[in-house]
Amino acid sequence: MTKNVTIEKGQQFPLTIKRLGINGEGVGYFKKQVVFVPGALPGEEVVVEATKIHPKYAEGKIKRIRNKSPHRVKAPCVHFGECGGCQLQHLSYEQQLKEKRDIVIQALERHTKLKMEELDIRETIGMEDPWHYRNKSSFQLQGKKGEVIAGLYGLDSHRLVPIESCMVQHPLTDKVTQIVKQVLSDFNIPIYHERKRTGLVRTIVVRAGIQTGHVQVVLITAKKELPRKELIAEEIIKRAPEVTSVMQNVNGQKTSLIFGDETLPIKGEQAIQETLGDLSFELSARAFFQLNPTQTVKLYDEVKKAAQLTGNEKIVDAYCGVGTIGLWLAKDAKEIRGMDVIEESIQNANENAKKHGIQNATYVTGKAEQLMPKWVKEGWKPDVVVVDPPRTGCDEKFLKTIKKVKPKRFVYVSCNPSTLAKDIQYLSDQYKVEYIQPVDMFPHTAHVECCALLVKKL
């Protein structure tokens, strides 16, 4: 049975925007069909032109705003709407925080059978200054008439938008990216051409230790051979003395992933230092670290509150990365055990624990779903499991393990409300949602992070 599609491409129609979608676009209904409109805000009445028709929904663009939202503001960035990095600069910051809470509610309504009126979903924790917060940038490169262009691919396109400075990036990352770009140009280094698969340097990744002022540059290359690389690194450091580490990462694959498997040191240290609260971390080129250190402290304090530590708890820090969450909790817990599949991260985590004199934290390479049952068999059962998984959420095998191991509290840090909601639903026969605390880690984008506390039902 085919569904009658009532909207045709190119058709114009009035639309009232009901809410924000998960990607920050306006969502409205025309003849019972859902329509997504980038740039439209809740409460607005707009005239829309249909641009794409899908079996279950349509996409449209604003032709005219008939009735403007009182929360609409002028986006301060010249690249807004073009580079696709931010989706919400045209919405006042106070209202962004309200809409992000609503995005969490929508995900729970869509993916769980929980009674919404019984859930404690708290107000979103925002930033005092919601600009220049990102400590890491990855700018793609293109060679044009002997000039090197660095930027981001435009919305839904393969056109590179050149970016000289970005309002959500820390100024250090902006400054160093421009210097590296210039050095590559001065040395006539061939820039990778994606279609022809020729040239060498694909991407400049710059990470700044915001508290320490240390900067790491990673040149992502299509091949291992990079001519005069020591000279290039020396020149970068000469022009940007903040740079303490220059690395090369080799990625010859035809892929949208930035990093390849092989990382080689060129000059300086192999890691940079960053501090969170009174902890300092060694960050190697591929190690995952939160992109907004200011809000990370607030997020991890929420994790600590949710864990309700008395000093006697055994904690598992799953998907632990460089050990940030576990080390944040260590002094209030009896023992921390963490795991991750990335070997480099585990090395960093153990070094970080050792450096801080934290003796009750151990990190091992492997999967939680294999390690936790083994530990329980050996007589070590966690009271609290903390997890901070990737956007895809928790592996089903991991969630099954949680049901088997039955920790009293399960603290779930999520960067994707949809997968959080699906995982909560999966656990809902055994775990009750005590509360969900949204935290704004990425102002002006549609992303929302949450700290959810799930408690074992008696």
Find out whether 135 and 293 touch, Cβ atoms under 8 Å: yes
263: Cβ contacts below 8 Å, ≥ 6 apart:
218, 247, 248, 249, 250, 284, 285, 286
Measured between alpha carbons, how far is 285 from 25 in angstroms, rounded to an integer?
A: 33
DSSP string, 358-396: --SEEEEES-HHHHHHHHHHTT---SEEEE---TT---H
451 carries an active-site annotation: no
- CA-based nearest residue to 454, from 443, 421, 202, 151: 421
Measured between alpha carbons, how far is 62 from 44 in angstroms, rounded to an integer?
A: 11
- Dihedrals φ, ψ of 3, to 5°? -85, 135
SS3 of residue 61 by DSSP: strand
From the candidates 77, 86, 415, 450, give the one annotated as an active-site residue.
415
- CA-based nearest residue to 203, from 184, 228, 186, 188: 184
- Dihedrals φ, ψ of 223, to 5°? -130, 165
Measured between alpha carbons, how far is 327 from 354 in angstroms, rounded to an integer?
A: 10
Measured between alpha carbons, how far is 310 from 296 in angstroms, rounded to an integer?
A: 23
Q: What DSSP state is assigned to residue 314?
A: E
Strand partners, 274: 281
Measured between alpha carbons, how far is 407 from 389 in angstroms, rounded to an integer?
A: 18
Residues labelled catalytic: 415
